[in-house]
Amino acid sequence: MQRNEGFGDFVPFNGNDSIPDFYLKKTEVSNADYLKFVQATGYTTCAELGLDSLGRGSFRFNPDSGRFCFESGLSWRHPEKKGLQPANWGELPVVHLCLEDMKAYARWAGERLPCVREWRVAAEKNRSQSEKQIPHGNTWQGLFPIRDLGEDGFTYRLSPVGTFESINGTFDLIGNAWEATTDHCMDGHLAVGGSYLCAPNWCRGYLIESPICIPQGVPYGHVGFRTAKSAKSSQ
């Protein structure tokens, strides 16, 4: 498979009998990436428009209560508290989006969301069986939800995209933010890779075989995405 011009932010992967060759974005889509899209299009996300009877806002994990709660005013612009942005906001993965918000960005960028099989090809390549059982990214160290020890340098929070290098030229495939895919489940869509909230006693989403189902039309503060491109035929 040959690298095509214009794919510098993407890593090429060979497909298999069930999927063709493809390119996967090196990092999760960041807030800075998404801001360019919104500035160009004026797009408004589901959290900003409002969620049925809940109103404007989104769901996030509250370390004080140890629960996932809906909070008014949360959005991709204000991922932690209404009216506030982390100092490194632009470098963090964009979250608090519904699947359609992610697809809208991908269409604008001339890209698409990957399927679960593509993500697994990227995550499994050149990794031994033992390595597939070990988190190598921003995950939870300690007993969830009581205490995150922060041994990876990040306690109760997302890390900037590109922080943890994976084996195959990608970053943060495991942990940080769950990554949405095009695969559907009973009442939503599948996400892969785990997040900063994944701990062995609670969520082993950092294992390749453990996707989760995200309900349709519901944004979360620990779910983001990265994009993919189909490979052109090699000559």
Instruction: Locate the DSSP E strands across the chain.
Output: 10-13, 22-25, 57-62, 67-72, 178-185, 188-192, 212-215, 223-224, 228-230
Beta bridge partners of 179: 192, 224
1-57, pLDDT tens digit by residue? Answer: 333 334 569 999 998 888 999 999 999 999 999 999 999 999 999 999 999 989 999
235/231 Cα distance (integer angstroms): 12
At residue 130 the predicted structure's pLDDT band, cuts being 50, 70 and 90, is: low
Higher pLDDT, 161 or 6: 161
Domain boundaries, the chain: 16-230
Query: Which residues, at least 6 apart from 124, have a Cβ–Cβ distance to it below 8 Å?
Result: 132, 208
61's tokens: 């994990």
pLDDT at 4: 36
Beta bridge partners of 224: 179
- Across 195-207, average pLDDT: 82
186-200, pLDDT tens digit by residue? Answer: 889 999 999 999 988
pLDDT at 128: 67
- Across 202-225, average pLDDT: 88
Q: How many residues does the chain have?
A: 235
Domain 16-230, what fold? paralog of FGE (formylglycine-generating enzyme) (3.90.1580)
Q: Cβ distance 209 to 142 under 8 Å?
A: no
Q: Of the given ranges (61-75, 85-99, 115-129), which has the lowest mean pLDDT?
A: 115-129
Kindly compute the dihedral angle of the four CA atoms of residues 183, 192, 201, 124, in this order, to the nearest 10 degrees: 120
Q: What is the pTM of this model?
A: 0.92
Output the average pLDDT for the chain.
89
Q: Select from 93, 53, 58 the least CA-distant residue to 73.
A: 58
